[in-house]
Chains A and B, each alone.
Chain A
């Protein structure tokens, strides 16, 4: 069955970096676009970034553009999110999600999330 497992979250000081990972299994990872979506504590969902199946096209929300980098290793079935210059507004549960139905944001499978807490 499809499974997405995020890791790499933790508590970090403002201005520092974290690399999040999302291990995929149960489907042909290289055939699907993948997204990162975050949810601040007690708040709603916020789209963060997308990477096309082949990995060469990447797009970001304005709130993270220039600070976050999405990437993938199709040989390892793994999605990444490099987060730099973190600030308190980046504190959130970060989900990876598969774009399942045609590449327009139909997120049919989600991981359980990895928590990033930015605090001094």
Chain B
């Protein structure tokens, strides 16, 4: 089970949009609709932002959206706000009752 590949960092100014990629393989991201995104602030537990590629749990602002093309999933954040500064992790079902996460992306709001 190899980790999914995310860029280590991303940044944007308040009000701008940013997209974070998550690249897997045809055995995980490319094979299933079960891609998730989590937000983690320092010293806090991860928070579910996106599940099943595009769905948002109740309470998550619609500024956060997910998509997938082939083996790569993406998280887009529009209208960046200071509180969006955090680490973001993607995750995917990898078949045979296994799951894999990405290495994480640190989002900086300039």
A residues sitting closer than 8 Å to B (CB atoms) are 35, 37, 44-47, 50, 57, 59, 61-62, 95, 100-102, 104-108, 110-113
Contacts and interface: CB of A to CB of B under 8 A. Distances in A.
Given A108-B57, A112-B45, A44 B51 contact: no
B104 A105 contact: no
Interface of B: 1, 3, 32, 34, 36, 38, 45-48, 51-52, 55, 57, 89, 91-93, 96-104
Contacts of A37: 46, 101
B34 A44 contact: no
A50 B97 CA distance: 8
Nearest to A96: B45
A93 to B, nearest CB: 9
B89 A111 contact: no
Contact of A107 (B46, B55, B102): B46
A47 B101 contact: yes
A37 B43 CA distance: 15
B98 A61 contact: yes
Given A45-B91, A47-B101, A105 B45 contact: no
A45 B45 CA distance: 11
Contacts of B98: 47, 59, 61
10 tightest A-B contacts by CB? A59-B97, A106-B51, A104-B34, A110-B45, A47-B99, A45-B101, A44-B104, A44-B103, A105-B99, A104-B93
Contacts of B102: 44
B52 A101 contact: yes
Contacts of B32: 104
B105 to A, nearest CB: 10
A59 B103 CA distance: 22
Contacts of A113: 45
